[in-house]
Amino acid sequence: MDAETADDQLTPRLRYYGAGDFATYWQVHRAAEVVEGFDPAAPPDEVNGILELHNARLFVEAGFIPTDVVEDDRKALVVSAKRIGRTVAQWFGALEDDNLADLLTEVDWQYREHLLDLLAGLGVFGRCSTTAMLNALDGANVHIGDMLTSKRLVENYGVAIRERLLAEPDRAELVVRHHLGGEMKNETFLPVSFTPADSRALMEAYIDSAEPNPNYLKLIADAPIDSKSGVDAKLVVKAKRRYDAMIEDFFKTTPGIRTGCTVAVSSTQVEPVKVTLNDMVVEYTFSQTWLEGTLDFPSVLNNFQFLFEFAPQDGLLTLPAFNSERRGLELAIGMNGAKDYRTGHIFIAKDRATLLQTAMYQRYLGTKDIDLEEVLRSYFEEHLLTEYGVAGFAFSPSNPKANYLERCRNLFAEMESVATQFGLLVEDSEIDHDVATAGANLVRYRTIPSALEGKYAYATDHTEIRTILHVLFSDQSPLTYINEDIRGENAADLLRRSKVSYESLHEYQQPLVEKLIEHGVVENTGNRIRLKDSDLFHVLQSLNENEAVAYHHLNTRCRAHVDRMVDAEWLVRRSSLLTDAEAAYFNYNLNSVDFSNGPKLRNKYQHGIQSKGNGEAQHQQTYYSALRLMVALTIKINDEFWLLDVAKKRQA
C-alpha cells in the first residue's frame, strides 16, 4: 500500500449532521474543498465517493461556507453543488436489479441514513424487486434496524420486512424501540402487515429467550397497557419477573460497588449539617443541638425546606429530576421508554437522601413526642389562620396506633384533600367542604391553580434561548475546552474559573461568544471573556437547573430581564401552584397520568392493589415517601401564601 492510499483511508469522510449539530461547523472548510474539487467529467465510480459528494453538497446548500470565502468563490461553490446534485441523481438513476449488489457494497456506516434517503427520494425502491434490493442492502451492511427508519422502504417491501422481524426473537428489540422507546434519534416504521398480535408474540418470545437485554425487559415491564403495541398486563408482569430474576442473578455472581447515602445525628457537631463523601457513599450528619433548638412546628417545616434542601431557593423544589442533571455518557447509554420519567444518577442520589432524611426526622421527632402529621395539621388548621388569616383548611392526621398500610391510605387521601381545598380557595376565595367532597376526584397536579399572575417563566423552543442555555450550561457545549490547562464542566464554569481571552478561543467558538456578547450574557474586557450581568445569569441558571423561574421571588432587575425575554418570545409565563417539573414529579410518584415507570403509589393504595410480598416494611417505606410528598406540597402552599402576603404589604 502506498503512502497516498494509506492517507486516504485514515482521513475521515465528510458527513453533514445538520444545522443543529456543532460537528457540522468543524467540517465547513473540508466540505468547501470537496465541492471545489468536484469534476463532473470524472465523478466517483463507487458508492461512498458519491455519498461523500452528496454530503458536501448539503453543506453548501444549507449555507455552511467558510466565512473567509469571497463572494465570487461562494457563487462558484453554489454552482458546483448543483452539478453534484445532478451527478448523484444520475448515479442512483442507473441502479437496477442487475447491478444493485455490485454497486451498493460496503457502504460507510455513517452514510447508511443518506443512502436510504436517496434510494427513497430518487425512486429506486419503487422500481427494484424485493429480493434484489434487500440482498443488496445486506451486502451494504444496512441492517434491518436501519431499514425500519425508511418509510418508503417499509412500504415497498413490507411483507419481507415482517418476515425478517419475526424470524429471530432478538428482533423484538426493534419493535420495543418503535412502540416504547423514547429519545430516539430517528423515527422508525413497521409494515402494515405487522399486527399487534405479531408484536406481542415477538416480545413474549424475546422474554423467554436465552439472553434478553435487561434494558428492553425493563421497557416492557414499565410500558403502558396498549392494544396497538400488543402490550397487555400479562406481558408486563412476565417481563418484570424475568427482569427481576436476571438482576438478582447478576448480583449473585458479580461483586458490586458500595454506593448510596447514610444519615446520622451528631451530639458534638456544631454546624447544622455536614455532607461528606466516603468511598462512594454520601454521609449526611445533622447537629443534635440544631434539631433540639428547632422543635417548634414552623421550624420543623423550615428544616425540611432549608436544612434538608427540599426548596432552599425561590421556593422551587429540588426533588424533581431535571434534564440538566443528566450529562455525558448518561445521555448516551441506557434506555428510556416513550412514557418514562427521565431520571439519572443525580436524581437517584437525592431521592435516596431526601427519603432517608424524612425517615430519620420522623423518627427523631417521635423521640420528642412530636408527630409529623400533627405538625402538618397544625400548619393547615392553625398556622395559616394566625399568620395569614386563611381559614377553612382541614387536615386529619393518621391514627398513631394505625399500621403503615392504614397510614399510607389516609395520608394519600389527605394530600388530595389539601390540594383540592387549596384549588377551591384560589378559585372561589373560600373552602366549601361540601363542594370539595362532591367534586372529589383524582387531583391533576399540573392544574392546581395559583393566585399569583404569571407565577413561573419557562423557556420556549426559540432558537436563541435554547442556544444560550446549551452553550452556557451543557457539558456538551463547544465552549468547555480551550486547552489542557483551560477547561470547565460547561462554559459558565470555564468563564468563572479561568481567564479566557477572545484571542485564545478556537475559530468555531468565536461566533458563539459573539452571540453571548450580543445578548449581554458575557462581555469582552480586552483581557478576558467574563459573565457580565449577575441578575441575568441568575435567571438563566434557574431556567437550566429548575426548568422554571419563580417570577415573584425575583428582584426588579431580574424581572426586567424576564420581561424582555417574554417580549422576545424566548420565555412564556404561566400560573399554577407547581412548576411543570414539580407537577411531573408528583405524577411520577403518585399515578400514571404522565409516566408509565413510576411507583404509582396513590393508585396502588387508594385502589387496594399494592403488592403483598414485602409486608409492613413495604408500607413503611411508602409512608415515608408519602410524608415527603405531603411536606413538599405544604412547602409550595406556604410559599404561595408568603408571596401573596408580601405583595399585600407592598400595596398597603
Is the pLDDT at 249 greater than 70? The verdict is yes
The confidence band for 5, taking pLDDT boundaries of 50, 70 and 90, is very low
Could you state, in order of their start, the residue ranges of all structural domains in the chain? 11-142, 168-256, 294-451+581-651, 456-574
Please list the helix, strand and coil fractions of the chain in percent, rounded to the nearest 5, in that order. 55, 5, 35
How much is the pTM? 0.79
| Residues 15-66 pLDDT 10s | 888 876 666 677 888 899 999 999 999 999 899 999 999 999 999 998 888 8
Is the pLDDT at 253 greater than 90? The verdict is no
Mean of pLDDT over the chain: 91
Indicate the range of 47-56, 423-432, 612-621 predicted with least confidence. Answer: 612-621
pLDDT of 151 reads: 96
pLDDT of 295 reads: 97
More confident call, 10 vs 581: 581
> CA-CA distance, 497 to 331, in Å (whole number)?
26
The rounded percent of the chain whose pLDDT value lies above 90 is 75
Distance spanning both ends of the chain, measured CA to CA:
87
Grid cell listed for 265: 445525628
pLDDT of 6 reads: 37
Residue 533 identity (one-letter amino acid): D
| Residues 79-120 pLDDT 10s | 999 999 999 999 999 999 999 999 998 899 899 999 999 999
pLDDT of 612 reads: 59
pLDDT of 8 reads: 40
Is the pLDDT at 2 greater than 50? The verdict is no
Contact between residue 317 and residue 582 where contact means Cβ atoms under 8 Å apart? yes
| Residues 447-457 pLDDT 10s | 999 999 999 99
Q: Degrees (nearest 5) of the Cα angle 82, 85, 86?
A: 95
As a three-state string, the secondary structure of 162-213 is: HHHHHHCHHHHHHHHHHHHECCCCCCCCCCCCCCHHHHHHHHHHHHHCCCCC
> CA-CA distance, 303 to 298, in Å (whole number)?
9
Is the pLDDT at 628 greater than 70? The verdict is yes
pLDDT of 516 reads: 93
The confidence band for 256, taking pLDDT boundaries of 50, 70 and 90, is low
| Residues 374-396 pLDDT 10s | 999 999 999 999 999 999 999 99
As a three-state string, the secondary structure of 291-356 is: HHCCCCHHHHHHHHHHHCCCCCCCCCCCCCCCHHHCCCHHHHCCCCECCCCCCCHHHHHHHHHHHH
Cβ-Cβ contacts under 8 Å for 211 (sequence gap 6 or more) = none
Cβ-Cβ contacts under 8 Å for 214 (sequence gap 6 or more) = 243, 246, 247
The confidence band for 650, taking pLDDT boundaries of 50, 70 and 90, is confident
- Choose from 59-63, 440-444, 554-558, 607-611 the range with maximum mean pLDDT: 554-558
As separate numbers, helices (DSSP H) first and strands (DSSP E) second, the chain gives 32, 10
> CA-CA distance, 14 to 64, in Å (whole number)?
13
pLDDT of 440 reads: 61
More confident call, 253 vs 540: 540
pLDDT of 3 reads: 39
Indicate the range of 91-100, 331-340, 415-424, 446-455 predicted with least confidence. Answer: 331-340
Number of other CB atoms surrounding residue 540 within 10 Å = 24
Sheet bearing 456-459, strands edge to edge: 549-550, 456-459, 571-574
Q: Helix 47-61 to helix 71-93 angle, to the nearest 10 degrees?
A: 140
